Amino acid sequence: MRSCGMTAFDTLPLKPALLASVQTLGYDAMTPIQAQSLPPMLEGRDVIAQAQTGSGKTAAFGLSLLQSLNVDTIRLQALVLCPTRELADQVSKAIRKLAANIPNVKLLTLCGGMPLGPQLASLTHDPHIVVGTPGRVQEHLKRGSLHGGGIKVLVLDEADRMLDMGFSEAIDDIVGRIAKHHQTLLFSATYPDAIRDVSRRVQRNPIEITVESPAQTKPAIEQQFIEVEPAHKLDALAQLLTGERGQHALVFCNMRRDVDAVADELDRRGFSALALHGDMEQRDRDEVLVQFANRSCAVLVATDVAARGLDITALPLVISYDVAHDPDTHTHRIGRTGRAGQAGLAITLCTPRERPKAQNIEEVLARPLPWHPLKLSAPRGKMLNLAPMKTLIIDAGRQDKLRPGDILGALTGDAGLKADDVGKIDVFATRAYVAVSRSLANRALERLRAGKIKGRNLRIRTLG
């Protein structure tokens, strides 16, 4: 059934060849992200769009960059940056399908973890379009094997993931090496401050587009208050953390000494738990935050002040081990969950002595608190509730010209890991941290120690 009205692709000023591809691919009507982003993109405007995987964003920017392409001009005109090789391959395939009716379009995929030789051979003639990961694209631009002077369109796809993987500096460097006047299209599932900063640096008056599916509108934060005797508090906490949500949970304590005690006890019971409070050295704090953000720590136990520097987009579970001192603090705590279109659960453990604080929260909320019973199970032996990732530390960093792409390339090359087995990469001045799948951490460590990163033998060890 053919759609009519403003959601039909033929309402757009697209080349007949592109409309033919759209028809062949069976795209009847534009998705919401396509309907909102394609008109400004086709006008040459910069766009920042919040779009999830599966929203149709690839076809949107693919059609836009192909519309502006001049096949007769043999030079690089469009560059698409993606966080992983797998995504770059998907995007390349999608653009090739859209370009099926345009003769002689040359598209290259340039990713780390792949041999450089064949890529250099492919670059003896300039492609029209390059899709790649930031580290490898940056390398080719530096070598002069890729020429960015004719680029008309730059696409940053899944920009939040690229920043999570530590590619911020590489993106800035790439922007500095390509044509000054180009269109920049930025797509991100979330809008953390870091994405806003990138947009401010690389875009000019962008049109901002947010498409909320019904599932994403104001995700519900479910609150639960559970009354518990002081002697049973730790058992209750451990039981609540044993489910799937406990794989990435934030636990608040009012006092620093309780933060350490609770984290130690959870660790003793088999959880990947770490403490965060103001008495810690800065490097220790940084390392704890790195591990929680990259999923190699399942449970972070923190004070309210220490958690302020935390920028985690989607936390499924927040638990107040103690009732917050005041309603504002309680509101900040529960606001840590249910972000980025995810549903969240916020649980408060309340002892009989803490009832007045709970009543204070109830008065401010002007509605009854959702009290839930918790039937404590009989204590079991030590259960392993380990985080899915493990962190490797590399004793080299920005000062040593080490980039995330170098680390990713070594892990997916010599170490033989798939890109999906590599998580967040954080590069600091003198050291770097990379998360890898826990089951593969020892193998990755051995392979990296036996091989080289960027031609050098570097000291590498596991953290925690």
Question: Which residue spans within 277-367 are E strands per DSSP?
Answer: 299-302, 317-320, 344-350
In whole angstroms, what is the distance from residue 286 CA to residue 360 CA?
35
The pLDDT value given to residue 310: 67
The pLDDT value given to residue 217: 42
| Reported pTM | 0.58
The pLDDT value given to residue 3: 38
The pLDDT value given to residue 420: 86
Residue 363's H or E segment, with its range, is helix 355-365
Please determine, for residue 14, whether its predicted confidence score (pLDDT) is greater than 50.
Answer: yes
Q: Looking at the domain assignment, is residue 44 inside a domain?
A: yes
Residue 426's H or E segment, with its range, is strand 422-427
Q: Are residues 301 and 397 in the same domain?
A: no
**Which DSSP category does 276 fall into?**
E
- Please provide residue 41's backbone torsions phi and psi, each rounded to the nearest 5 degrees: -65, -40
The pLDDT value given to residue 295: 92
Share of residues in the chain with pLDDT > 90 (%): 62
- CB of 160 within 8 A of CB of 196? no
| Confidence band for 296, pLDDT divided at 50, 70 and 90 | very high
Q: Are residues 151 and 292 in the same domain?
A: no
Q: Are residues 223 and 197 in the same domain?
A: no
The pLDDT value given to residue 143: 94
Q: Are residues 197 and 76 in the same domain?
A: yes
Range of the domain at 174: 5-215
- CB of 99 within 8 A of CB of 127? no
Residue 91's H or E segment, with its range, is helix 85-98
The pLDDT value given to residue 212: 64
Q: Are residues 118 and 198 in the same domain?
A: yes
Q: What's the whole-number mean pLDDT along residues 433-439?
A: 95
In whole angstroms, what is the distance from residue 413 CA to residue 380 CA?
43
Q: Report which listed range, 66-75, 111-120, 283-292, is most confident.
A: 66-75
- Token pair 């923190």 is found at 302
Q: Are residues 186 and 292 in the same domain?
A: no
Q: Are residues 111 and 238 in the same domain?
A: no
Please determine, for residue 160, whether its predicted confidence score (pLDDT) is greater than 50.
Answer: yes
- Please provide residue 449's backbone torsions phi and psi, each rounded to the nearest 5 degrees: -65, -35
The pLDDT value given to residue 25: 86
Q: What's the whole-number mean pLDDT along residues 382-388?
A: 83
Q: Looking at the domain assignment, is residue 104 inside a domain?
A: yes
Q: Are residues 198 and 254 in the same domain?
A: no
Please determine, for residue 6, whether its predicted confidence score (pLDDT) is greater than 60.
Answer: no
Q: Are residues 344 and 239 in the same domain?
A: yes
129-140 tens-digit pLDDT: 999 999 999 999
Q: Looking at the domain assignment, is residue 378 inside a domain?
A: no
Torsion over CA of 163, 166, 169 and 175, rounded to 10 degrees? -50
Range with lowest mean pLDDT among 4-8, 236-240, 434-438: 4-8
In whole angstroms, what is the distance from residue 27 CA to residue 60 CA?
12
Share of residues in the chain with pLDDT > 70 (%): 93
Strand 460-463's sheet: what is its strand order? 422-427, 432-437, 389-394, 460-463
Q: Is 29 helix (H, G, I), strand (E, B) or coil?
A: strand
Report which of residues 398 and 379 the model is more confident about.
Answer: 398
The total of structural domains in the chain comes to: 3
Q: Looking at the domain assignment, is residue 56 inside a domain?
A: yes
| Confidence band for 233, pLDDT divided at 50, 70 and 90 | very high
Report which of residues 180 and 414 the model is more confident about.
Answer: 180
Torsion over CA of 409, 414, 418 and 419, rounded to 10 degrees? -10
Mean pLDDT computed over every residue of the chain: 89
Q: Looking at the domain assignment, is residue 273 inside a domain?
A: yes
Range with lowest mean pLDDT among 49-63, 110-124, 195-209, 328-342: 328-342
- The upper half-sphere exposure of residue 7, i.e. CA atoms within 13 Å in the direction of its Cβ, equals 10
- A 10 A CB-CB count for 324 gives 22
387-408 tens-digit pLDDT: 999 999 999 998 898 988 889 8
Q: Looking at the domain assignment, is residue 384 inside a domain?
A: no
CA 199, 200, 205, 210 torsion-angle sign? positive
In whole angstroms, what is the distance from residue 194 CA to residue 94 CA?
28
CA 46, 160, 180, 93 torsion-angle sign? negative
Residue ending a domain, choose from 169, 184, 215: 215
- A 10 A CB-CB count for 326 gives 12
195-210 tens-digit pLDDT: 999 999 999 999 999 8
Range with lowest mean pLDDT among 68-72, 230-234, 402-406: 402-406
- Please provide residue 126's backbone torsions phi and psi, each rounded to the nearest 5 degrees: -60, 135
The pLDDT value given to residue 364: 83
Q: Are residues 32 and 129 in the same domain?
A: yes
Residue ending a domain, choose from 330, 365, 400: 365
> What are the b/e assignments for 401-422, b being 16+ CB within 10 Å?
ebbbbbbbbbbbbbbebebebb
Q: CATH no. for residue 412?
A: 3.30.70.330
The pLDDT value given to residue 192: 80
313-369 tens-digit pLDDT: 668 899 999 999 988 889 888 877 865 556 789 999 999 999 999 999 998 888 899
Q: Is 85 helix (H, G, I), strand (E, B) or coil?
A: helix
Question: Which residue spans within 253-388 are E strands per DSSP?
Answer: 273-276, 299-302, 317-320, 344-350
**Which DSSP category does 8 fall into?**
B
> What are the b/e assignments for 294-321, b being 16+ CB within 10 Å?
bbbbbbbbbbbebbeebebebbbbbbbb
Q: Residue 252 corresponds to which amino acid?
A: F
| Confidence band for 1, pLDDT divided at 50, 70 and 90 | very low
| Confidence band for 53, pLDDT divided at 50, 70 and 90 | low
Q: CATH no. for residue 257?
A: 3.40.50.300
**Which DSSP category does 54 fall into?**
T
Q: Looking at the domain assignment, is residue 164 inside a domain?
A: yes
Please determine, for residue 220, whether its predicted confidence score (pLDDT) is greater than 80.
Answer: no
Residue ending a domain, choose from 215, 238, 256: 215
Q: Are residues 172 and 224 in the same domain?
A: no
In whole angstroms, what is the distance from residue 323 CA to residue 255 CA?
11
Q: Are residues 350 and 394 in the same domain?
A: no
The pLDDT value given to residue 214: 43
- CB of 285 within 8 A of CB of 259? no
The pLDDT value given to residue 275: 97
| Confidence band for 216, pLDDT divided at 50, 70 and 90 | very low
CA angle 38, 40, 43 (to 5 degrees): 105
Q: Looking at the domain assignment, is residue 376 inside a domain?
A: no
